Amino acid sequence: MRTDYAQPADLDGQIQGILSRLSQDLNVWADISNHHQLDVFCGLWLRESNEMLGVSPQTLKALGDRNIQLELDIYLDDEQPLGSSYPVTK
């Protein structure tokens, strides 16, 4: 599952958008996570070496409740739009 690029970056909103399209039943997630390793992979391209980006406690809890690991791949790349993020689930 993918989400669109966001500029400025809205990693929190993008992850919430992905989770909102999936089952809210935590028993389903427990069953899935017993059989599979779950993660949300997020590529983040920065133009500056020191930029801030946050993920809310509610989003982190939603990932944790589903046993979903948050993976960040952060690049310093002048070719991408400033502060773009692109989360992808596996």
**Mode of pairing for the β-strands spanning 38-46 and 84-89:** antiparallel
User: How far is residue 28 from each of residues 5, 46, 60, 66, measured CA to CA in Å?
Assistant: 29, 36, 18, 9
- 10 phi and psi angles, rounded to 5 deg: -140, 60
**Tens-place pLDDT, residues 4-38:** 777 777 889 999 999 999 999 999 999 999 999 99
Residue type, 55: V
Compute the distance between CA of residue 64 and CA of residue 48 in angstroms, rounded to an integer.
30
Q: How much is the pTM?
A: 0.78
Q: Which residues pair with 44 in a beta bridge?
A: 74, 85
